[in-house]
Every structure is written in structure tokens, then in C-alpha cells.
Amino acid sequence: MAKDPHRKYEIRCPVHGFIQIDDWEREIIEQPAFQRLRRIRQLAWTDLVYPGAMHTRFEHSLGVMHTATLLYDSIVSKSRDLLKQELAYSDEGLGRDRKLVRLAALLHDVGHAPFSHSSEELLPRRTGALKFAHEDYSAAIIRSELRGAIEEHPLNANTGFRANDVAALIEGGAAAGRAVFWRDLINGQMDADRMDYLLRDSHHVGVGYGKFDLQRLISSVIAIAPGGKDDHSRVGIEEGGLHAAEALVLARYFMFTQVYFHKTRVAYDIHLREVMKQILAGGRFPKPSGTGLKEFLRWDDWRVMGLIASGRAGEHGRRIIERNHYREIYHTHEVCTEKDLRELKRVKAKLGNLLVAEETATKSWYKSGSDDIPVLSKVRTPRVQPLSEYSKVIAGMMEKNNQALLYVDSTRREEAERKLKRKGNQQR
């Protein structure tokens, strides 16, 4: 019996219910490069703190595709005329780019290294100072390992996509053409990636911090015409969705402070990086090209855990097995003042060689400037203002998070505490 390329399939998701895919998407999902995501944990070793955090990049990628589609459909429904006027879309073009957004959302994380972000520090450098990011690996995998599944499926006869079209949307820039407008749904401050991982991570971790009103955001999202400082159309929201967008940003803040930068979770990131330095040739992942890319795809959590279990990962592998992690001895406030930095320097000097690791948060909770989410108000004369001008809460979150955590060996914690003559609530 011949295979029906028009058949639909459903995958049950604990966050979104049923996620529907077509035969083309199913063929891409069945490729080894995508199936590898089943063996890449979303939150690395977070299960050693929150036991339920065992979910993977595989299910997250499906959720991002689903969420991006809901956002896309809402924008087209509300902003069809603007999209036709500003970006010269036809109804056929909008239908075509809906599939492009789905494929880019599905494949945006296919280039993650083992244990996701925890080992990204070991990605190699480009020519110069910049390092490769997992998005570079995603784009390379799409153009090579997944090219046939993308370009040769019968359903592609309706769209004529090349693998490069999907990769270009993930990368952004001029190569994506007018479709770059939709990149905000893949990589932005109000993107499908963030919406899915906050809901999914909080669900599996078992906390309420990552919750926000997804349906309200979807119903409020629109395309906003160029104006003011913007010289291009952007994805934004109606004023009625202001508080839902505010809640999304707050959810990310709470998840970061309570889960992603949890002192013990961060300690295991330190141990994992030391493990990877020992088991990788030269202490780095190979570059995303040629045989290097194929070797990169051989690395997943299972392979790393096998090497740890076999005793080939050294001291830090044993620490993970025995749950004998470094202990936090001191931390600064989430946003360090000059006074905090001076105190940090003093503490480090007192600890001396007892200090075995220091970790500093590097991500901003909310970016201002051109990344600020535009909000359309229709009170009297329609006007567009950035979210940070509507919300004092958001305006107060635009400082860069630079919290520092200091660690000592578990066997020398008491000695370190004596050195610091523990006071107040900043030492632990």
C-alpha cells in the first residue's frame, strides 16, 4: 500500500495537549540528527536538584513548533492587510511561510551539545574572538544531514523550500529575505522558544514560577508597521496583552533566579564542563563542518553518561555519580553594585586557595533598545511604545544580571566559613 504524504499525525504533549504534524514533518523528525534530541536533556543535571526535570530537547522542539504556529496564525488573522502592504505578501506567500516558520521552529535546537547550554562553553572558536553557538550547529545540520528530508519530500512541491531557507531564518539577516520578519517568533523576547521552555520547565520541575497566560499572549500578538526608531515591521502586541507580556518576562526572571541559576544546579554545570574537557579531544567540540559536524552529532548525553559510568571521566565524573558537588560559600546580589564587587573581591582574597570555582550570571532578563517589545495602543490616536515605557516593572529589570557565586570543596566548607567569619545572609 502506497504511503499517503497528506496523512496527519498527533503527538501527545503534557503542556499543549495534542501536537499535530504532517508526513513531511514526521519524516524530518525521524531523521537520526533529530532523534538525537531525545538524548539531550533540556536542563542538564537539574534533576539532581529537582528530580522531575528529565525532559528533553526533543519534546521542547515539538512544543516550539506548535507554539510558533499559534502565534503565526494569530498575527496573520489580525494583521493580514499590514503584511500585504508592508511586506508584499500574498495569501499564497503567507501559507508558504507558515510552513517555513514551522520547520525553523522545529529545528532551531537540533544543534545543541550534550546537556544543552551547560556544555556550550566548550564550543570552538571561529576565526577571531567569537565562539560558535548552538544555532550555528543547527544551521549546519539543516544544510547537510537534514537537507534531503527537507527538499525531497513530495509535499515540498507546493513550497519549493531549500534547506538553506530554513537555516537562514534561524540565523537571521538578509539571507532570510522578507521572512526575517518571522524570526521574532524563533528568537526574540517574546518568542515561541521562550514561551514553551518556561511552561515546560516549570511543569517538569514542579514549580509555579514559569507560568504566564499563553492564550492571552497568542490572542494579543500582531504585526506592527515601521515607525519611530524602527525602519522595519516588527512582531508586537496590542495594549490588551500588556500584562501577559509582562508576566512572560517575570516568569523568565523567577525561573532564572529559582531554577536555572540555583546554586546546586550551577555546581553540576561546573563539574560537567570539567568532565567534557577531559573526554573531548583537545577539550573542545569539533567545528560545525565536514567530518567535524559528523563527530559532533555522535555526542549526546548517553555517550557522556556512559563514559562517566565507566570511570573515564576523572574526579568530576565521580563527583557527579556520588553527588559530591562543590558547595556555594558566598553569593552577591542579583545586580552587583560597585560596593558588592568590592566585597566580592575581599571575600575571594580571604578564601585564597580554598576557592575552587566562580560562576557569574551573564544574561539580561530584559533587553532595551531595538529588542524592546513594541506595544500598540488604540486609545484615541493609535501609537506604538516599547513595553518598558508602559511597565515600571519591566523598566526596572533592564539592568544586566551579574550575580556571582563562589564555591569551595565540600570537605573544606567549614574551614572556608571560619575564614569568612560567617555573617548575614549572603554566605551559605
pLDDT per position in the chain (428 positions), as tens? 557 778 999 999 999 999 999 999 999 999 999 999 999 999 999 999 999 999 999 999 999 999 999 999 999 999 999 999 999 999 999 999 999 999 999 999 999 999 999 999 999 998 877 899 999 999 999 999 999 999 999 999 989 999 999 999 999 888 889 999 999 999 999 999 999 999 999 999 999 999 999 999 999 999 998 865 556 789 999 999 999 999 999 999 999 999 999 999 999 999 999 999 999 999 999 999 999 999 999 999 999 999 999 999 999 999 999 999 999 999 999 988 899 999 999 999 999 999 999 999 987 888 888 889 999 987 767 889 999 999 998 988 877 788 999 999 999 999 999 999 855 444 44
In DSSP terms, 377 is beta-bridged to 383
Would you say 330 and 426 are in contact if contact means Cβ atoms under 8 Å apart? yes
SS3 227: strand
**Grid coordinates belonging to 290:** 565536514
DSSP character string of 1-59: ----TT-EEEEEETTTEEEEEEHHHHHHHTSHHHHGGGGSBTTGGGGGTSTT---BHHH
pLDDT at position 378 is 79
- End-to-end Cα spacing for the chain: 66
Would you say 247 and 212 are in contact if contact means Cβ atoms under 8 Å apart? yes
pLDDT at position 229 is 54
Query: Looking at the domain that runs over 8-324, which CATH code has it been given?
Result: 1.10.3210.10
**Grid coordinates belonging to 425:** 545572609
**Residue 83 amino acid letter:** L
- Helix H or strand E segment including 9: strand 8-13
Length of the chain: 428
Half-sphere exposure of residue 383, counting CA atoms within 13 Å on the CB side? Answer: 8
Q: How many other C-beta atoms can be found within 10 angstroms of the C-beta atom of residue 90?
A: 10
Report field, pTM of the whole predicted structure over 0.85 = yes
Burial 10-25 (b: 16+ CB within 10 A, else e): eeebebbeebebbbbb
The angle, 0 to 180 degrees and rounded to 10, between the axes of the packed helices 242-255 and 192-205 is: 50
- CA dist 287 and 159 (Å) reads 32
**Grid coordinates belonging to 210:** 514559569
- CA dist 108 and 423 (Å) reads 46
The domain segmentation of the chain, as residue ranges, is: 8-324
Would you say 71 and 185 are in contact if contact means Cβ atoms under 8 Å apart? yes
Q: What's the burial of 199, exposed, middle or buried (CB within 10 Å: 0-12/13-18/19+)? A: buried
pLDDT at position 231 is 66
pLDDT at position 427 is 43
pLDDT at position 424 is 45
Q: Is the dihedral of CA 300, 199, 248, 64 positive or negative?
A: positive
